[in-house]
Amino acid sequence: MTGDQPRRQSVTQTEDRFLASDVFEADSRALPPPNGSGTIREDARNIDIYHRSDVVVIGGGPAGCAAAWAAAQAGADVTLIERYNCLGGLSTGGLVMWIDRMTDWDGNHVIQGFARHFIDRMPKEAVAGPPPKDWGSRDPDKALYWGQRTTAFHGIVTWAPTLDPERMKLNAQEMLLEAGVRLVFHAWAARPVVENGRATGAVFESKAGRQAIMAKVVIDTTGDGDMFARAGAEFDSDVEDGDVHHSMNTGWIFGGVNMDRFIDWRVSNRSEYEAFLARGREEIGFFQAPYVSWRPDIALFLGPRQSGLSALDVDDMTEVEIRSHRFMERHCRFFRDHAPGFEHAFSLQSASQLGVRHTRRLAGVGRIERGDWGRGTPLVDEVGISPSVSPKFPTVSVPYGALVPRALNGMLAAGRHISCDANSHGFMREIPQCWMTGHAAGVGAALAADQGIEPRDVTPEAIRAVLRKQGAHLSEEEKITAPPRHQAAEKV
């Protein structure tokens, strides 16, 4: 191959990691380093206030959509700032249409609320996944079938559907507009407005120039913690070396395929398939196998997964995009020539958003940690329940404290940058968990704005009461008696 010469490492499936993948680091780079040095001075200026709201949500990905919808449903006046032209974040613009598990290992639907409202509104033809009667099934034939379609793990069928990204964009947009959310597209939030240790709004850039939006509560759902980091809140950035969950990629989709035929060949001719993978790696360097999409004539590729690059470095992000588009074309040619079901494949679309898995994680008053996976008891400040990574673990109680900065007031954080350790981040960054934590943050923000108090002072009981009214699944209130793990959680 020409250009990249990748060093590849394989991430295997374990009980802590259910996603097996190649992750690579390339020696060569497409662009030389920048030659800038020194500084320039930016003149001070007054900034026009664009709007005032009870709650402003920064970022319209899964967490941001859930937060804005929940806050508006709870009676708050809400504005959402989004840098792209649509809602959904990586689930739409990133083509991460494979929605991860929302059921526990017995088939119980534990992530509901906004997530369930959202999927229930989707057209039937835009949703692919097992029927509810099969959730939790350990039938080998069903597990084999759905395992090839990204919704069975460890021999158990789960609810992990694949959704049409274009219909998701429209669905999220209409849900928020119906709830009364003010949407602002094509606007990049540049920095938070902080007064006396309290976030009071955000400055954003658009074609109209630099403007400010003011709010009683700011919710950071940027995915990278841009707002809380620039406001001076503490955060963590450690990663699990070589873990697929801490790599970057640009996804793409091919049209004109027959995924059912490809899957049948892959299952029935394992030795041929292994030879196919080996040849792909030899000819292309990095090789990505396809996933199913919401329809059998479209194939999804979530690669190449590239490590050793930072989503906070503009040159690194550019590098990922350049490599990914080159790999997309090489894959299309290779699959047309060698893969049954791909004889008429064509490049249909590459993702408009870079697939970022990890940058910063909030240092909150509470934290989700690997050592707590086996606890199995609800936390006193529980605001959600997450499926665990394998059947040997019970469900994970998600604390409100994981959304609350230790010192910064006026702000909550939801989505992939919540407070957790590097290992727990591997599943708490997934789309359903982002919906769940966004939902909780939206309710917490609305109650804080309504009561004129800090988000940290809203009681978890009050948040849970509203979450239940909005359809969230939580532990029974009388069972939420476990003492908080962290002394700081008593303040929440």
Q: Identify the bridge partners of residue 21 per DSSP, sorted by sequence position.
A: 11
- Domain boundary (336, 355, 374) is at 355
Q: What is the pLDDT of residue 50?
A: 98
- Domain boundary (294, 322, 355) is at 355
Take residue 454 and report the two structure tokens written for it. Answer: 């800090």
Do 461 and 369 share a domain, yes or no? yes
Is 472 a member of any domain?
yes
Buried-state track 74-113, b at ≥16 Cβ within 10 A, e below 16: bebbbbbbbbbebbbbbbbbbbbbbbbbbbbbebebbbbb
Mean pLDDT of 252-258: 98
Do 342 and 375 share a domain, yes or no? no
Is 38 a member of any domain?
no
List of residues 6+ apart from 137 with CB closer than 8 A: 107, 130, 143, 156, 157
Residues 315 and 34: beta-carbon distance below 8 Å: yes
Q: Give per-residue pLDDT as tens, 410-454.
A: 999 999 999 999 999 999 999 999 999 999 999 999 999 999 999
Q: What is the pLDDT of residue 22?
A: 57
Do 69 and 203 share a domain, yes or no? yes
Mean pLDDT of 54-61: 98
Dihedral sign, CA of 326, 90, 59, 174?
positive
Residues 389 and 408: beta-carbon distance below 8 Å: no
From the list 80, 83, 54, the residue with the least C-alpha distance to 67 is: 80
Mean pLDDT of the chain: 91
Q: What is the pLDDT of residue 9?
A: 52
Take residue 339 and report the two structure tokens written for it. Answer: 């893969």
**Residue 244's pLDDT band (boundaries 50, 70, 90)?**
low
Q: Residue 461 sits in a domain of what CATH number?
A: 3.50.50.60
Do 185 and 224 share a domain, yes or no? yes
Domain holding 445, by residue range, is 47-122+164-246+357-485
Do 398 and 336 share a domain, yes or no? no
Do 264 and 324 share a domain, yes or no? yes
Where helices occur in 133-258 by DSSP H, the ranges are 140-147, 165-179, 226-230
Q: What is the pLDDT of residue 17?
A: 43
Do 283 and 370 share a domain, yes or no? no
For 387-455, give the DSSP string: --SSTTS--EEEEGGGGSBSS-BSEEE-STTSSB-TTTHHHHTSHHHHHHHHHHHHHHHHHHHHHTS-G
Is 190 a member of any domain?
yes
Is 144 a member of any domain?
no
Does the structure show a pLDDT above 60 at 365?
Answer: yes
Which DSSP symbol is given to 422? T
Is 361 a member of any domain?
yes
Do 57 and 112 share a domain, yes or no? yes
Give the count of domains, the chain.
2
Is 282 a member of any domain?
yes
